[in-house]
Chains A and B, each alone.
Chain A
Amino acid sequence: MFYERKRPQRGDTVFRAATLGAAAFLLVIMAAIAAFLIAKALPAIRSDSVNFLTSSRWNPDDDPSTWGIAALAVGTLISSVLGLAIGVPIAIGVALFISHYAPRRVARGFGYLVDLLAAVPSVVYGLWALVYLVPNMRDVSKWLHDYLGFIPIFGSDGLYGKSLLVAGVVLAVMILPIVAAISREVFLQTPQETIEGAYALGATRWEMIRICVLSHGKSGVVSAIVLGFGRALGETIAVALVLPASNVITFSILKPEGNSIAANIANVYGDAGEIGRGALIASGLVLFAMTLAVNLIARGVVARGGNLRRKAAA
């Protein structure tokens, strides 16, 4: 009659054990992945006759083994940052347009379009970049060099084609839908009261956006940017097709020089021997560390943004 709280049923224990097992197994797998990768990378690092962080050569299987990720890491960072610099402002503009400027009915359609474009696989972007972008960017690169060549990053030897700039543009096109889609969601969630309040006080549309939408959506936009940055860092195929695969540290984005970690792995994994594979794994771990660092920084920023908002509301 009175409902007694019983000891846990068998079903409960089994189910709980199953879920716990799954979670624990996941942890074990991730630890195993980390351990295996580190175990493979260490012998390569040890046998490296030069500092693997500062050298640019890539001959891990030679005797003596000389390899280093300097050129690869620099190339990865430059192309990704370039992609962000080009893509993020445009993405935010697109998101603003869809959320606050476009007429309601058309906005939904545009929203779907942007979502669809976020799903296009990277190999298609790479193919498009190879067939369309590389030849056409020649003229743009020449134009940039002609008018802005006094700035070092636009320096050139007169040869244009595959370059870090093309890689940056491809990455910008690839992260644009992602950043735009997430930013759009964030902007749409601006509290309606604040918007109406701003209009009631006589703000123009731009002032309303600046005061309400952008400040409210700051942390959301930051997460979107981080997501885009992560994707740009790890992008393999599209970049492998448009980078000139020359292991040189270069800051001039128009020259046919530069390589990225992921593209290097895709290019040379085939003829890599034991040490070579270890070297590739080491470079992969460095890439992973980069992505991790970016993610953690973003988490910090988002958390702080949340804290500030809570403090302001209190």
Chain B
Amino acid sequence: MKLNRFATTACLIAAGAIALSACGSDNNPTSAGSDSTVTSSSGASSSDSTGVTTAAGDPTGSTTSSGTGITCATGTLQLSGSTAQTNAMSEWIKNYQTACPGATINYGGGGSGQGVQNFQDGTVDFAGSDFPLADGDEHDKANQRCAPGTAVDLPMVPGPIAIGYNLPGVKDLNLSASTLAGIFSGKITAWNDDAIKKDNPNVDLPSTKIQTFHRSDGSGTSYNFSNYLANEAKSDWSYGANKAWPAPGGVGEKGTAGIAQGVKSTPGGIGYMELSYATQNSISYAKVGNAGGDFVELTTDNVVKFLSTATVVGQGDDLALKFDYTNTDADAYPNLLVTYEIVCTGGKSSELARDFLSYIVSDEAQNLLPDLGYVKLPSNIQTKVQDTIKGLG
């Protein structure tokens, strides 16, 4: 009698669980079972709405030329790292998974620091990081994980760093590098400070106090912004460049999203964030001073102009870039980052990883970037990255 009651309850629970697992679905437009192994020919029936041209009807299905199409593989990719590239990754993953229902790609964000750490620990397949692997301990540990191959940085998602601010009524703001250094080091505390007035002689600035936001987690965006300040405001910024935000004061937030949320909800707030976050949340951003003392507006072209003067300083297959902060071109926006994908060479990357990487470096995928608030890779760098990816196997 006791057994009957238990048995009934157990059966009910089991039935409920089975029902639960049967009635949900991933959002695959093909709505075929979610883990059928798909070759690209059968996957071609879906995917036209996303602008991805799979080789529809092509019996061999897979093409590897950089301009057209996704090569599908199956399996799961666990990724993490830079939150600056989250919006781009989100879109790319959506496209890739739509074309290849057998692939599951999880991008966990967490910041560049976490990405590098996860990569070294081996808990992710490859990581996104806004700063290349530092020489020495960091690169060695990553190489260890990839042995017998090595770890390389592949630039993939260039993005402008927007200085977002929350000052209702102030639509245009100019901020020179030294003013920015003063604000973010806590020396300038109110919006009507003389330094800001000097940069903006024609703007009516309120006396609101400035609330700065920085990253509390290890962030490549922090690194690149502090690098910009260290290079272009040498006399005002003594903290150097660091992925752990080096200056005192201000409120720490987790992830670029945290900074965006903070600035959006705090009158008088100011923070550094990748452009896509500013545009998505209607946050105004400032014109930024360059080495020549001009104020450069944040437009895709201006960023491309600055990016085109970057040089590759990585060794061998590593494609780490170095920006030229001495650029005095009045139309070159100097505050940006490039998100690298840190991958293993020597056959240690799975087929799905290689196929996904080939997709996101292709023209197709890169062409989506400007609308999302990023910038395409310059074509010379793009070619180099594609060659390295081909050689990953």
Q: Give the B-binding residues of A (Cβ under 8 A).
A: 59, 134-135, 157-159, 161-162, 240, 244-246, 256, 267-268, 270-273
Contacts of B216 in A (CB 8 A): 245, 267-268
- The stretch of B50-58, B108-116, B307-315 in contact with A is B108-116
Report the bound CA distance from A256 to B216 in whole Å. Answer: 14
Report the bound CA distance from A271 to B223 in whole Å. Answer: 14
For residue B200, CB closer than 8 A to chain A, the reply is no
Q: Contact: A271 with B265, CB < 8 Å?
A: no
With A161-B266, A267-B216, A271-B218 known to touch, is A246 a contact of B250 (CB < 8 Å)? yes
CB distance from A209 to the nearest CB of B (A): 44
The chain B residue with its CB closest to the CB of A269 is B114
Of A59, A135, A270, A273, the contact of B111 (CB 8 Å cutoff): A270
- The stretch of B224-232, B251-259, B317-325, B367-375 in contact with A is B251-259
Of B117, B209, B211, B253, the contact of A271 (CB 8 Å cutoff): B117
Of B110, B114, B211, B217, the contact of A159 (CB 8 Å cutoff): B211
For residue B118, CB closer than 8 A to chain A, the reply is yes
Contacts of B266 in A (CB 8 A): 161
Q: Contact: B217 with A161, CB < 8 Å?
A: no
Contacts of A246 in B (CB 8 A): 249-252
> Can you report 5 residue pairs joining A to B where beta carbons are below 8 Å apart?
A158-B209, A244-B252, A246-B250, A268-B218, A271-B116
8 Å CB contacts to A: which residues of B170-197? Answer: 189
Contacts of A135 in B (CB 8 A): 265
Q: Contact: A244 with B111, CB < 8 Å?
A: no
Q: Contact: A268 with B217, CB < 8 Å?
A: yes
Q: Contact: B114 with A270, CB < 8 Å?
A: yes
Report the bound CA distance from A245 to B249 in whole Å. Answer: 10
Q: Contact: A161 with B209, CB < 8 Å?
A: no
Q: Contact: B113 with A270, CB < 8 Å?
A: yes
Report the bound CA distance from A270 to B109 in whole Å. Answer: 10
A-B interface pairs (CB < 8 A), number: 56
8 Å CB contacts to A: which residues of B260-312? Answer: 262, 265-266, 268
Closest 10 CB pairs of A and B: A271-B113, A270-B114, A271-B218, A245-B252, A245-B216, A244-B251, A271-B114, A270-B110, A158-B209, A271-B117
Q: Contact: B251 with A162, CB < 8 Å?
A: yes
**Size of the chain B interface, CB-CB below 8 angstroms:** 27
Q: Contact: A134 with B209, CB < 8 Å?
A: no
CB distance from A261 to the nearest CB of B (A): 15
Report the bound CA distance from A256 to B112 in whole Å. Answer: 25
Report the bound CA distance from A201 to B19 in whole Å. Answer: 64
Contacts of A162 in B (CB 8 A): 251
Report the bound CA distance from A270 to B114 in whole Å. Answer: 5
Contacts of B80 in A (CB 8 A): 270
Contacts of A272 in B (CB 8 A): 117
Q: Contact: A245 with B117, CB < 8 Å?
A: no
CB distance from B334 to the nearest CB of A (A): 27
For residue B205, CB closer than 8 A to chain A, the reply is no
The chain A residue with its CB closest to the CB of B251 is A244
For residue B244, CB closer than 8 A to chain A, the reply is yes
CB distance from A200 to the nearest CB of B (A): 49
Report the bound CA distance from A159 to B250 in whole Å. Answer: 10
The chain B residue with its CB closest to the CB of A161 is B266
With A59-B244, A161-B211 known to touch, is A271 a contact of B217 (CB < 8 Å)? yes
The chain B residue with its CB closest to the CB of A271 is B113
CB distance from A268 to the nearest CB of B (A): 6
* Besides the known contacts A270-B111, A271-B218, 20 further A-B residue pairs in the complex with CB atoms under 8 A apart: A59-B244, A135-B265, A158-B209, A161-B211, A161-B251, A162-B251, A244-B252, A246-B251, A246-B252, A256-B211, A256-B251, A267-B252, A267-B254, A270-B80, A270-B118, A270-B217, A271-B110, A271-B112, A271-B217, A273-B120
Contacts of B249 in A (CB 8 A): 246
The chain A residue with its CB closest to the CB of B269 is A161
Contacts of B211 in A (CB 8 A): 159, 161, 256
CB distance from A120 to the nearest CB of B (A): 23
The chain A residue with its CB closest to the CB of B211 is A159
Report the bound CA distance from A273 to B114 in whole Å. Answer: 9
Q: Contact: B111 with A271, CB < 8 Å?
A: yes
- What string of 1s and 0s marks CB contacts (under 8 Å) between B101-127 and chain A? 000000000111110111010000000
Contacts of A256 in B (CB 8 A): 211, 251
The chain B residue with its CB closest to the CB of A276 is B117
Report the bound CA distance from A268 to B111 in whole Å. Answer: 10
Contacts of A271 in B (CB 8 A): 110-114, 116-117, 217-218
Report the bound CA distance from A4 to B87 in whole Å. Answer: 79
CB distance from B242 to the nearest CB of A (A): 9
The chain A residue with its CB closest to the CB of B189 is A157
The chain A residue with its CB closest to the CB of B80 is A270
Report the bound CA distance from A59 to B245 in whole Å. Answer: 11
